[in-house]
C-alpha cells in the first residue's frame, strides 16, 4: 500500500513539474513583433480575356463586366473588397504601364469602359477610397535574364516544356479548369471570388505546376519552375516588401490567381505580414 501511495505521489509531482516547465516555455512567435502589415491578395481571372495563359476561356464562357447582371456584381465585389480599408493598392503591371498616371485620368472620367480588372477593381477602389497611387509590382522571371547570358543553355533546359505531358493529373486539371471556366457566367461573382481565393483552391492551383512537365527528365521541370514561375513570384513579393513602409500598412494586391497561390505561401510564412483571408472580410 505504501509503495502504491509513493508511486502516486511521484506521478503527481512529475506532472506538476512538467506543467511548470511547459508554462515557462515561450511561444516561438513571441520572438517576432505582433504588429504586422496586413495584406489582402485578391486573385482574379482577367476580365478582358487576353487569353495569354495556358488555359484558354471559350467565347461562350466569357462574361461582360460592363453589362448586367455582371456590372452590378462587380459593384458588389468592389464594395466587399473595400471592407479591407487598404492604404495601398498593388497591381499586376510593370512600371511602363504608368498605373498612377492612368489613375489620374480615370478620376477625370477616362477608361470607364475598360474591362481590365485593373480599371474595374483597382482604380475604382482607389478612387472611392481617395488613394492617389497604384503600385505596379509585376516582375520578369530569372529565365529572361539568363537567356541574355546563355540562350543555348536555357533553351536546352526549356526543351519540350509545353504543358502537354501525358500525365493522368494533367487530364484531371484540364477537366477542373474547364469546369471552373464556366462558373463566372453561372454564379455570383463575389461567391466565385470567395471560392477561387480559398486556401483549398490556391493549393490545388499551385499543384498544377507540380505535375506534367514538372517531371521532365534530369529534374529539368524543377529547374524550370524555380527560375521561371516561382522566381517571378518571389520577385513580385520582393517588390511588395519594397513598397511596405510600416506595420500599419494595409496593402491590397490584385493579381491573376495563379500568382495568388504562391503569394499566399510567402505572406503566410513571412514574419513581416499578416495574410488576410478574402472570405473573412467584415
Question: Does residue 101 belong to any structural domain of this protein?
Answer: yes
> CA torsion 184→40→254→256, rounded to 10°?
-60
pLDDT value at position 173? 95
Residue from 34, 40, 74, 91 nearest 281 by CA: 40
Nearest in space to 63 (alpha carbons), one of 120, 19, 24, 111: 120
- The verdict on residue 61 lying in a domain is yes
In-domain check, residue 137: yes
Give pLDDT, residue 9: 54
Q: What is the pLDDT of residue 164?
A: 86
Specify if 157 maps to a domain: yes
Number of domains in the chain: 1
Residue 56 is predicted with a pLDDT of: 77
Predicted local confidence at residue 14, as pLDDT: 58
Query: Domain range spanning residue 143?
Result: 34-280
Q: What is the structure's pLDDT at 42? A: 99
Report in angstroms the alpha-carbon separations of 170 from 64, 71, 159, 175, 210: 29, 34, 19, 9, 10
28 assigned to some structural domain: no
Q: Report the pLDDT value the prediction gives residue 87, as an integer from 0 to 100.
A: 99
Q: Which residues of the chain have pLDDT under 50?
A: none
Please report where in the chains the cell 504586422 appears, as a residue: 36
Within-domain flag for 3: no
Decide if 10 is inside a domain.
no
Residue 140 falls inside a structural domain: yes
- This prediction's pTM: 0.90
**Residue 24 pLDDT:** 86
Amino acid at each position: 500500500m505504501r509503495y502504491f501511495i509513493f508511486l502516486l505521489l511521484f506521478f503527481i509531482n512529475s506532472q506538476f513539474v512538467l506543467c511548470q516547465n511547459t508554462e515557462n516555455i515561450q511561444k516561438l512567435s513571441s520572438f517576432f513583433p505582433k504588429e504586422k502589415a496586413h495584406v489582402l491578395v485578391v486573385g482574379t481571372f482577367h476580365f478582358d480575356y487576353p487569353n495569354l495563359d495556358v488555359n484558354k476561356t471559350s467565347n461562350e464562357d466569357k462574361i461582360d463586366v460592363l453589362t448586367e447582371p455582371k456590372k452590378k456584381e462587380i459593384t458588389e465585389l468592389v464594395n466587399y473588397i473595400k471592407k479591407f480599408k487598404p492604404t495601398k493598392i498593388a497591381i499586376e503591371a510593370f512600371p511602363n504601364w504608368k498605373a498612377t498616371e492612368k489613375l489620374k485620368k480615370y478620376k477625370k472620367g477616362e477608361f470607364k469602359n475598360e474591362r481590365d480588372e485593373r480599371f474595374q477593381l483597382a482604380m475604382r477602389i482607389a478612387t472611392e477610397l481617395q488613394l492617389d497611387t497604384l503600385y505596379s509590382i509585376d516582375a520578369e522571371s530569372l529565365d529572361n535574364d539568363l537567356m541574355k547570358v546563355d540562350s543555348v543553355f536555357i533553351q536546352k533546359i526549356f526543351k519540350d516544356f509545353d504543358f502537354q505531358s501525358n500525365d493522368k493529373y494533367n487530364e484531371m486539371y484540364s477537366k477542373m479548369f474547364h469546369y471552373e471556366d464556366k462558373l463566372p457566367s453561372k454564379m455570383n461573382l463575389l461567391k466565385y471570388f470567395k471560392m477561387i481565393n480559398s486556401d483549398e483552391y490556391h493549393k490545388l492551383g499551385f499543384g498544377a505546376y507540380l505535375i506534367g512537365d514538372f517531371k521532365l527528365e534530369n529534374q529539368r521541370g524543377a529547374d524550370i519552375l524555380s527560375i521561371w514561375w516561382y522566381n517571378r513570384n518571389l520577385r513580385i513579393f520582393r517588390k511588395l516588401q519594397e513598397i511596405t513602409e510600416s506595420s500599419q500598412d494595409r496593402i491590397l494586391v490584385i493579381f491573376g490567381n495563379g500568382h495568388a497561390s504562391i503569394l499566399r505561401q510567402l505572406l503566410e510564412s513571412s514574419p513581416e505580414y499578416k495574410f488576410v483571408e478574402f472570405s473573412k472580410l467584415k
